[in-house]
A and B are shown apart, each in its own frame.
Chain A
Amino acid sequence: MAARRGTDEMRDRVVLGEFGVRNVHTTDFPGNYPGYEDAWDQRRFEEAFRVDVIREEGDTLEFDMVGIDAAIANAFRRILLAEVPTMAVEKVFVYNNTSIVQDEILAHRLGLIPIRADPRLFEYRNQGDQEGTEIDTLQFQLKIKCKRNPQAAKESSDPDELYFNHKVYSKHMTWVPLGNQTDLFPDADFRPVHDDILIALLRPGQEIDVLMHCVKGIGKDHAKFSPVATASYRLLPDITLLQPIEDEAAETLQKCFSPGVIEIQNINGKKVARVANARLDTFSREIFRHEGLKNLVRLARVRNHYIFSVESTGILPPDVLVSEAIKILMGKCQRFLNELDSVSME
């Protein structure tokens, strides 16, 4: 029985020791553990798998994926960061730029601005195509000139009062429809996600007159195409008290973990510590600095319970991004299957 419990721990938990982490790698492959059924079984997977959505606020989504292997969860994370396509400014045609900001710096800054345009409505641009057609390009214009304000007070030094248009914001970017885009997208309102991104500062007499082409791309090519502010996951913490801990030791124990993890209850007049909510802990490992307590607690993580946190830049809502990432992985599998079939037919 103890041996079975030991192997269960080896299979399900990643244990954080004082000087290192144990049981990191997945070992549940067929043949490794006698008595365990490890061969792939879709039905068993479907029974054990579940997704729980914890929080959805605006652009942030926090959800749990339970019962999946690390490789697949990591694949979803990597695809969210690098392979979900978005639209971003790629080519900037500078007609006039007399501002202090150099052309290439201005172009770089414009490229990083997130554009509210659903990338699924557009195609990728063909390689070598310089002009761009209406199905793969969005055109924006930024035309702004700074003037002196004749009505400003003589001694004022506030630039807001002295000049017109001295701050160039992303709200000054206007969409210029190409070809039949007005018919293709009658209700669409293509603009940057945020109106208050400061692009450049001007003084009277300086002007910026640029035309921008947005294309569809993926984060692997350039980070400006990444649709997430960040996408990360962590494993569910699992804290076990190996012996009952009381009184002063209980108080110290509570301070070693993040607030809310350890709860102190009064049982028969004595203060007894209990693990209330291990999920909140950030595993600072403070417990290992206390000689008396470090052997009484086991810090571990549940190997197949992933707490995902996806924050979108605003282009697409985060749940759409996760769905797209899963579809992209399916598309890759399908491509390989097609390749296999075409090779074996030769």
Chain B
Amino acid sequence: MVMKNPDVEFCGYCITHPSESKINFRIQTRGALPAVEPFRKGLNDLMGVCQHVLSTFERSMKEFRAQKEEEMQ
């Protein structure tokens, strides 16, 4: 998500030690943009994606079940 932002020059993560649950997440922007903005935008975009996936999935399930009902009758 953050990689899809054209302002981001570098984005990566690494896990410091497998026994600790910590991730080092690095974002570098080109220009004067504060790096927190792409992070925030990425999270918001991801929420938007999940919301859309959820509604599309539930709609498809409803349609599938309605179609099966029709076939059975």
Report which A residues bind B (CB closer than 8 A): 29-31, 38-40, 42, 45-46, 49-53, 56, 63, 65, 68, 72, 319, 322-323, 326-327, 329-330, 333-334, 336-337, 340, 344
Asked whether, in the complex, the Cβ of A39 is within 8 Å of the Cβ of B5, the reply is yes
Asked whether, in the complex, the Cβ of A72 is within 8 Å of the Cβ of B49, the reply is yes
Question: Chain A's nearest CB lies how many Å from the CB of B3?
Answer: 5
Q: How many A-B residue pairs have CB under 8 A?
A: 82
Known contacts A39-B5, A323-B57, A337-B44; 12 additional CB pairs below 8 A are A29-B3, A40-B1, A46-B52, A50-B56, A53-B60, A68-B49, A319-B61, A326-B57, A330-B50, A333-B46, A337-B47, A340-B43
Asked whether, in the complex, the Cβ of A42 is within 8 Å of the Cβ of B48, the reply is yes
Residue of A nearest to B60 (CB): A51
Residue of A nearest to B57 (CB): A51
Q: What's the Cα separation between A53 and B61 when bound, in Å?
A: 7
Q: What's the Cα separation between A35 and B39 when bound, in Å?
A: 26
**Given known A29-B4, A322-B57, A340-B40, contact A45–B52 (CB-CB < 8 A):** yes
Asked whether, in the complex, the Cβ of A68 is within 8 Å of the Cβ of B53, the reply is yes
Asked whether, in the complex, the Cβ of A326 is within 8 Å of the Cβ of B60, the reply is no
Asked whether, in the complex, the Cβ of A326 is within 8 Å of the Cβ of B50, the reply is yes
Q: What's the Cα separation between A334 and B3 when bound, in Å?
A: 19
When distances are taken between beta carbons in the complex, the residues of chain B under 8 Å from A38 are 4
When distances are taken between beta carbons in the complex, the residues of chain B under 8 Å from A63 are 57, 60
Question: Chain A's nearest CB lies how many Å from the CB of B25?
Answer: 10
